[in-house]
Structure formats: structure tokens, C-alpha cells
Chain A
């Protein structure tokens, strides 16, 4: 009696880093040795841990035997033999390696729409997608629906753009349908430039066909015959899987001319980004596809009126497009039943930073931040105290711990001075300095500024200069007022979203952590112990065992001392990198 056995191992960028390839090889070797007829399926990884998003649990493996699924966590290649012998051949799962309750609590409050197939389908096999209702929505639409009907359903669903701006997708498509052709373009924005965000990467790596199907439906609705996916070059695995998926879709007649026998043509080309954050802005993206410097232009005219090469163009984010097939299949009412009144559906977040369960999550709009941090996220790692949660990347703001009951929807986040953004959510604890965080984001936006308009080009530079002065102990009276005035001026007069939102992290951190700024400026002190120019590292004679571990990691050769005798830091040489502090096992190094 041969069983139907299949193993699923995460192989996304994160899964590979965790050793996913070696784990799969071990399974293949063990099967060959035991002569088991089985399929070893490569599954897309949202991240290291699991296609299901639990990246913190290092090579998650699903073992399915005749439809019964067991999930293992923390699997290393040398553990595979035992799983094969005891579970697959012997029929008894290796209990001690199976996931425990906390794996399930990570998922309990999540609702997977966009990520529902990630971790289940093989992203490199179109039949795997088709077997889970893949392309059924596209078929139905092409068979029976008028383009306006598609637009109406998307409008009724309440879907808003997931790239960050939250503009109603149905309304955008409606404008496109009303703009005359005959040439129109549909572009998928996969530039995902926010540092700390990997939602779109995971969807393209894990389920590229969902994005393609969303584009086919969208192109049919707005009557576009050409499509582009503009994707970061820094995502090589996603690019490779996307190319393969497009080829497979074309071979099956889902792309190309007369799709599925209807008089509808649509082809998709892939364009690689070249490393410019500003190219996530739609007019800059268009300039980049046209082969120019990625500089935005004034709007109106909006891309839907005059876009790529002057033609009407609609640009949608990856996550927005991945929502389209399920909405068509299950209906607008189903989607609108999730979320809040003005923020419908679900949102994918990349939960990272000082959180225990870091990874990719998908939750209904309107869920309280508290539940995300403590129920799904498992709380702060290392038993530290939550300080703030940063949302929206360099365009966003921070939500202090006191506002942890804020709900995650467009309106509520706007009210507290942050934004939804593309979904990056970085958790900060008591050891993070909010002034340093603001400086970090300004370093980013200043270097990514395209340079076209004065407020952003010069404004971000000045904001960064002031923040840098503050973090090295050269803050002056009046700096906070200057930061606020400058920030508001830059917000109101910048040409594009980059400049308009670059000051947000500063305004947000000053609003909630003014005292921290004042400590830096007035007392020349960094309460969190981060700004190294305001720190002094010293070794306590009482606790130092003279083990020399610190001497070995010091990059500046600033620690002197004999073995087994208390060591000393030479302040003149110390570059305050903190390596010794991190290394000392005897808590003998003082930071302050």
C-alpha cells in the first residue's frame, strides 16, 4: 500500500539563509536510500521560517501523509533522517520537534487572504496554483463579465491601494475605464523600497501567479493590452520566479493574444529597478521604465490621464493585485465584511525588530496594535519593555507604547500621526533611541532624494544636519522649534511623496518623545544608551575576570590588560562601537 507523501520546505530568501536547501537535500537523500516514492516539493518561503510567515522558527517543514499534515519547526539537515525513519516509515511523528501551541497562537488572530496560498502552492509550478482555484477568477471574468462589472465589484469591495497611499482601487480603475484608449498600460509596482518591508517580495516569491492573475483581471477591466511589473533588482529570487511564472502563464494561454479564446490581448514585461527608492513613486517609476533618471513630475496630469509614454496608465501595488482574484471569486460582500467601515479587508505586515515572533502576518483591518504585538508577536524579546512601534517606514511615524490600543486602519493611524504605509512594522524597546531612529530615517530619505525640488533636496540635508548635531552632543536651544518649522515647510512644498513624508518620523518622535530630544540637547545625554558620542564605556574592576574576550573583539585595540587581571578601556582609542559590551559575559562593562 503506497501512501501519498509530500514534504513542504520553505525556500524563499529567508528559508535558504536558514539552510532550507540542505534540509531538502537531506530529505531527497533519505528517500533515495529508503526507496520511498514521494514528492519533495519546494515551497515558497515568505521568509526563513515558514511560508506561513513565522520566520523566527527556522526551517519549518510540513509533512503531509495521505492528507494528514504535521508541522515541524527548527529543522536542521541532521534531523531529517530521524523524521524519515520514525514518522514517514514508522508512522509516528517525532513529537518533540513538532510545533507547539505558540505556533498556533501566532496564526490564531491572522486572516490569510493574500498569503493564503503562500506556503501551500509551489511558486514554480502553475498547476499547483491552478489546483487551488488559480486562474478561475480570470476565466470567469473573461467568459462572462463586462469590464465595468469588474470595476463595480472592486469598488464595492472597498479595496484600497496597499502600497501606502490607500487610494480606492475601484475608483482608480473607474477613471481608467472612462479614459479613452486605444493604448493603455497596467503596471505592477513591486519596487518595495521601504527598509524593513518584505511583504511584496514574499508574495512574488511565494505566489507569483496570484499577481499575474490580478493583473490579467485589472487589464481586462481597464482595457489595457500591455503590462509591466517594475521590480527591485535586489530581489533576484522573486525576479526569477516571476519570469518563470509569466512564461508558464503565456504557455497556457493566460497571457498573450486572444487570451482563453476571447478577443483580449495582454502581455506582461518585467522591468528591473536600479536601486532608487524614489522610483516607488508612480511618476518616477514611469520615468524609470522609459529609461530616464527616476525623477517625479508634478501631478496633475495623473498617470491615468497621461502616464507611460504619454498613454493612460494605472499603477497598482503587488498586494493590491493579489487581492483581486479572491475578491472576484468570493464577492465584494465577503471582502467588505472584513475590516472597518473605511478600511476593508486585510493587510499584510512585516513584523520585525525587538519582537519575539518576527515574520510576516496578515490581519483584518481594525485589529488593535496590542493584539498584534502581544498575541501574535508574543511580546518583546528578551523581556524588555515596549517603547514604540514604527509603521510606514521612512514616510511614517511611531506609535508610543501608551497608544498601544490604536487600531490598525488608515484613519486611526493617521490620527496618531503615523501612516499605514506599505506594511513595515518595526518594534522598538527601551534600548532604542528615538532621536537616533529619526536620524536613521533622514539619512535614508536624504540620500534617496532625487534632487529635483529645493524643499526636499536641501531640506532633508538640513534636517539631517540638525539631528546629527543633536546626537553628537552639539544640540542648541531652538533646535526643536527649527526642526518643526522646517519639517512643516518641507511637507507642504515638496514636489512628491518622498519629500512630503520625509519629515514625518521627526514630527512623530518629537510629539511623543520630546523629553528624549531635550535630554540630548540640554543634558548631552542619550537615555537609551545608543548615541555613541554621548556614551562612555568603562570596565568594572569588580566584575572583570580578565578573560580577554573583549580585547579580541575590539576593532580599535582600545582595551588593555593581562590575562586573568581586570582590563581597562583606553578612552582616547575607544570608538564606542559597543562590541565589548555585547561580548562580555560577566556584565563587567558599563555603558553610560
Chain B
């Protein structure tokens, strides 16, 4: 881990980065913000960990817990909302056994992320599965996709 963190620190100095860009790099590198990584960087830069956590908890992009192997991004934008995204999301949470108030299944297989508008409103409702964008999703299509995913 230290080698990766050294790389992040170097990039921070070279590109005049800021704490947000460090956190973005950490998120990209490890998939979430590992506590030990934050403490290591905090020590190196002499910046209190509270500062990092203050930023991490403000922005939606940062996750303090590991994400599932398959990330499903459900768009909650206005157009998707009027085309039934709420129902699709409820269906996802139930099918993938994701507990209330959480976004990842206990077995760390699936994460359902709700985002506010991916900007593909003309093909609402939109669900993104591992970066592949699916438009005009119906409960039927979603069920089929979930069944396939669970089998993998």
C-alpha cells in the first residue's frame, strides 16, 4: 500500500493538487477510502485526519466502506424519476439483498449507487451496470439483468 500512497503524494506535489484530489486518487486506487491510508497520508502531510474526513463526508463521490464487486448506478434524475426510477431502485435493493440505509450487499457482491442525473435523460430511466449504460429500463428487463448478474 505504501508504494501506491507514495505515488499519490508525488502526484499531489507535481500537479499542485489539493486534499480533494488526494481523496479522489485514493478512491480510484482502492475503491474506497481506507482508514489506514488516510492516517498514513495525514501523518506525511501533517494535516489532521479530521480535515480529510470533513471533506470525505461532504462529497457524495467518496465512500468510507468498500464497494461491491459489481457497481450498479441508478439514475435518480428528474426525467428518470417521472419514468419510474423509484420502482426500479426498490426492485434492485430487494433482488440484491441490500439492507435498508446501506448501499452494498453483505457479501460485498453488489453496490447500488443512487446518483442525481447522469445526463442521459432521453433514454430514461437509466441504469448503469459496471459502466455499461442501459436506457429505457423496464422492471422486466431489470429482473432479467439481475438474474444474469446473480448467476455470474
Residues of A bordering B, CB below 8 Å: 13-14, 16-18, 47-49, 55-56, 192-198, 201-202, 233-235, 272-277, 288-294, 350, 352-354, 358-359, 390, 393, 424, 426, 428, 432, 437, 440-441, 444, 448, 450, 552-553, 555-556, 575, 577-579, 582-583
- Closest chain B CB from A291 CB (angstroms): 3
* Assembled-state Cα–Cα distance A202/B140 (Å): 30
Contact A275 B59 (CB under 8 A): yes
B92-146 interface (Cβ within 8 A of A)? 94-95, 115-124, 126, 133-135, 138-140, 143
Residue in A288, A292, A426, A448 whose beta carbon sits within 8 Å of that of B78 in the complex: A426
Stretch from B2-10, B18-26, B36-44 contacting the other chain:
B18-26
Question: Known: A291-B18, A440-B78. Is A192-B119 also a contact (CB below 8 A)?
Answer: yes
* Assembled-state Cα–Cα distance A206/B73 (Å): 24
Residue in A197, A359, A440, A444 whose beta carbon sits within 8 Å of that of B119 in the complex: A197
* Assembled-state Cα–Cα distance A450/B59 (Å): 10
* Assembled-state Cα–Cα distance A98/B87 (Å): 37
Cβ of B55 < 8 Å from any Cβ of A?
yes
B57-111 interface (Cβ within 8 A of A)? 58-62, 76-84, 87, 90-91, 94-95
Residue in A276, A358, A555 whose beta carbon sits within 8 Å of that of B59 in the complex: A276
22 example contacts (A-B, Cβ-Cβ < 8 A) are as follows A13-B120, A14-B135, A16-B133, A48-B123, A56-B122, A193-B117, A195-B116, A195-B117, A197-B119, A198-B121, A272-B21, A275-B115, A292-B55, A293-B54, A352-B78, A352-B122, A358-B79, A359-B122, A440-B78, A448-B116, A582-B138, A583-B139
Residues of B bordering A, CB below 8 Å: 17-21, 23-24, 54-55, 58-62, 76-84, 87, 90-91, 94-95, 115-124, 126, 133-135, 138-140, 143
* Assembled-state Cα–Cα distance A428/B79 (Å): 10
Residue in A48, A277, A426, A444 whose beta carbon sits within 8 Å of that of B135 in the complex: A48
Cβ-Cβ contact count across A and B, 8 Å cutoff: 150
Question: Known: A195-B116, A276-B58, A354-B82. Is A553-B139 also a contact (CB below 8 A)?
Answer: yes
Contact B78 A13 (CB under 8 A): no
Contact B140 A14 (CB under 8 A): no
Known: A55-B122, A352-B121, A352-B122. 19 other contacts (CB 8 A): A13-B120, A17-B133, A17-B135, A192-B119, A196-B77, A196-B78, A198-B120, A272-B21, A274-B59, A275-B115, A291-B18, A294-B58, A352-B79, A352-B124, A354-B82, A426-B79, A428-B82, A432-B82, A583-B140
Question: Known: A291-B18, A575-B90. Is A198-B119 also a contact (CB below 8 A)?
Answer: yes
Nearest B residue to A196 by beta-carbon distance?
B78
Contact B119 A13 (CB under 8 A): yes
- Closest chain A CB from B133 CB (angstroms): 4
Question: Known: A272-B24, A274-B24, A276-B58. Is A358-B133 also a contact (CB below 8 A)?
Answer: no
- Closest chain B CB from A46 CB (angstroms): 9
Q: Please indicate the chain B residues that have their CB under 8 angstroms from the CB of A14 in the complex.
A: 120, 122-123, 133, 135
Contact B21 A291 (CB under 8 A): yes
Residue in B61, B87, B120, B123 whose beta carbon sits within 8 Å of that of A579 in the complex: B87
Q: Please indicate the chain A residues that have their CB under 8 angstroms from the CB of B133 in the complex.
A: 13-14, 16-17
